[in-house]
Amino acid sequence: MTAVIEIENLTKDYEVGFWRQRRVRALDGLSLQVEQGEIFGFLGGNGAGKSTTMKLLMRLIYPTTGGARILNRDINEIGMHARIGYLPEHPYFYDYLTAREFLVYCAELFGYARDECQRRAGEMLARVRLEEKSWDQQLRKFSKGMLQRVGLAQALVNDPEVVFLDEPMSGLDPVGRREVRDLIDSLRDCGTTVFLCSHILSDIEVLCDRVAILQHGRLAHLGRLADLRQNTGNRQMEIIVALADTRQMETALRRIPDSQLTPTPGGARIQVPAEQDVDAALAAVRACGAKLISVQPVGNALEELFVSERREENAASEIATRIEAKDQ
């Protein structure tokens, strides 16, 4: 396996305040590698440092210390940037250009011939499933979801070998979300490496081979999703059902200790203390003839899991220390 993204001790302090006299460390000694062809999830809560990392890699801002290599080239080598793609968190568009004109303009920046730019513009807009009737409309008339698709199209216009996507699903409706998920998945077949930034586990869950979790600018975890899932056994789960006879369901749920049922206008919300209780709860739901709407963890950000894991680790080591002290 060859590493196509190599981040080495990357650190960023922002200077803040009116006189820029105060420093805030947004990223603290990040080191990691992403292999060729991987879809790599970059996770963390709000303000964890994800976008800062992306901007550093794109050279939109400069590191305080540390550096990185992409495709075996230092990120300061400008030529390498023609071989990668980037969807920023808050993309800026030229409002008065049409979607097609904007894409042609982006392709021209890579030096393609005029016909090739036109061809690529059409191919990319179709690929992100922007409706053809909108291709020749000005971007200022676009909805947020439509703009997000245009942003994605420009990130792919040069057939990048590595693509950096900062929250690509933001602003998309559920259908759009699924389409973008499928699109990212299709990049895998082309051998493209994807560095995907999100704080929503469900986006990552179906796509990513490996993930990194940032916490307050530090790398808190790096590994395969399957390994992370082993740590998620104690998650509280929420089950939403419709058309429920709540009385009957309440009785059925008594067999699950610490489960809770809250009636909703259309049915009920059931909370069970752990993932292993879900099967029993679903059996109760079925027995009552209710319709299943959704099953999801309560507070599903992966970072939260690691916060709690750390707390448990700390508590365990504290107890161990106390026991040792007692024994002496």
- Summarize as ranges the residues that interact with ligand ATP (CB under 6 A): 14, 16, 24, 26, 44, 46-52, 89, 199
Residue with CB nearest Mg ion? 51
Q: 111 touches which of Mg ion, ligand ATP, none (CB within 5 to 8 A by kind)?
A: none
Question: How many residues of this chain bind Mg ion (CB under 5 A)?
Answer: 3
In the structure encoding, which two tokens stand for residue 275, read together?
């993932």
Q: Is 209 in the site for Mg ion (CB under 5 A)?
A: no
Least Å distance between CB 56 and ligand ATP?
Answer: 9
Q: 39 touches which of Mg ion, ligand ATP, none (CB within 5 to 8 A by kind)?
A: none
Q: 285 touches which of Mg ion, ligand ATP, none (CB within 5 to 8 A by kind)?
A: none
Least Å distance between CB 204 and Mg ion?
Answer: 14
Residues numbered 49 to 78 that lie near Mg ion (CB under 5 A) are 50-51
Long-range contacts of 211-214 (CB under 8 A, 24+ apart): 211/40, 211/41, 211/42, 211/43, 211/302, 212/32, 212/40, 212/41, 212/42, 212/43, 213/43, 213/44, 213/302, 213/303, 213/306, 214/30, 214/42, 214/43, 214/44, 214/48, 214/49, 214/50, 214/53, 214/303
Nearer to ligand ATP, 22 or 255 (CB): 22
In the structure encoding, which two tokens stand for residue 106, read together?
């982006």
Least Å distance between CB 203 and ligand ATP?
Answer: 12
Nearer to ligand ATP, 50 or 81 (CB): 50
Long-range contacts of 224-232 (CB under 8 A, 24+ apart): 225/41, 228/302, 228/305, 231/305, 231/306, 231/309, 232/275, 232/297, 232/305
d(CA 262, CA 201): 25
Q: 44 touches which of ligand ATP, Mg ion, none (CB within 5 to 8 A by kind)?
A: ligand ATP
Nearer to Mg ion, 51 or 246 (CB): 51
Nearer to ligand ATP, 51 or 246 (CB): 51
Least Å distance between CB 49 and ligand ATP?
Answer: 4
Find the angle CA(252)-CA(257)-CA(262) to the nearest 5 degrees: 60
Nearer to ligand ATP, 51 or 158 (CB): 51
